[in-house]
Structure 1
Amino acid sequence: MLVAMALFALALERLIYWRVTHRRARRALIDAWIQRRDHVSWSALTLREVWTRELLARLRQPLPWLKLLVAVCPLLGLLGTVTGMIQVFDSLSLSDSGQARAMADGVARATLPTLVGMAVAVVGLLFVSRLEQIIRREDQRLHDRMARAVEDAHA
């Protein structure tokens, strides 16, 4: 549960960062680019590339942690299932009656951690994929907006 909470908290933080902080930083970067006199030299284009990479790196920063948490969720679910199965078999061995119904109920409860781990991992994987798509789109949009802003400023 703690891993799922950390995963969703990090995902929510990235969403808020992208919607609020990143947009302000992007606007400031475009404004700084427009204020420059030189927009066509090699050094100017290199500077623009460095600025955009730094901005996108801040957006991309928690991706390795998100991927790690997504990978850990199914493993923790399996660990919970194995632990639950051990408890089921232990309780069945202590009671002399080998009731099939009690065993089926215990096995069903023991497999719930795997289900939860897989569900959290799938949702986390969807978020990671969406964030990577946003970053790729932002990269292209940022370059396009900076080029368009220079054209508009010179027009």
Structure 2
Amino acid sequence: MIEFLEAIRDFTETGGQVLLVIGLLIFVMWLLILERAMYLMVWHKKAKSEAVASWTARSDRSSWFAKQVRQKTISQLTMRLNGSIPIIQSLVALCPLLGLMGTVTGMIEVFDVMAIAGSGNARSMASGVSKATIPTMAGMVGALSGVFAATWLNRTVKSERTHLEDALVIQR
């Protein structure tokens, strides 16, 4: 376990301070993704069954007022379904931007080394190059994984809304 933590520390040192921010951002993003997945798989089913039971218990399911109640119920459950998805999408968009910021800070370090030691010293420029490329890679990996998860969440929310609309049938 200690070796694993040392490997992570070495990796973050070669990637610079921006890599820590990217790592924190990816951690928060995946916590929110897991929270949404848990909501969809556990708590939404209970809320949906309560809404369907409440709708079927109504004696009036065909008037204008009943249609408005149905629409309100669908809207409330959809808002709960969407929850933190916009935040997740924002974090996904921030990942490559922070990776780009890591690229810029790493290149600044390369230019500083070139100004001091000259362009012939490749070994001293290597740390700046790694600080330029590692955050970019981390930002892209975080963004790609988040895009797949956010797409799955959006597709599942749309499907659940359709199922809810089908479950709350209007009597004619």
Q: Indicate yes or no: 2:135 matched with 1:116.
A: no
Aligned position for 1:80: 102
Separation (CA, whole Å) in 1 of partners of 2:120 and 2:99: 27
Structure 1 stretches lacking a partner, 5+ long: none
When the two structures are aligned, how many residues end up with a matched partner? 149
| Cα pair 2:29 2:92 within 8 Å, conserved | yes
Secondary structure of 1:47's partner? Answer: helix
Separation (CA, whole Å) in 1 of partners of 2:62 and 2:121: 80
Structure 2 stretches lacking a partner, 5+ long: 1-22
Q: Provide Cα deviations, 1:72-96, integer angstroms capped at 9, x if missing partner.
A: 1111111111111212332343335
TM-score normalized by the length of structure 1: 0.86
Report the alpha carbon displacement of residue 71 of structure 1 after superposing the two structures with TM: 1.0
Aligned position for 1:16: 38
Q: How does 1:5-154 map onto structure 2 within 5 Å?
A: 5-95=27-117, 98-100=120-122, 102-103=124-125, 106-147=128-169
Structural RMSD (CA): 2.0
Task: Specify whether residues 39 and 90 from structure 1 end up closer, same or farther in structure 2 by C-alpha distance, changes over 3 A only.
Answer: same
| Cα pair 2:113 2:124 within 8 Å, conserved | no
Amino acid at match of 1:41: S
Report the alpha carbon displacement of residue 97 of structure 1 after superposing the two structures with TM: 7.0
Q: Percent identity?
A: 40
Q: Provide Cα deviations, 1:15-52, integer angstroms capped at 9, x if missing partner.
A: 11111111110011011111111111121121111101
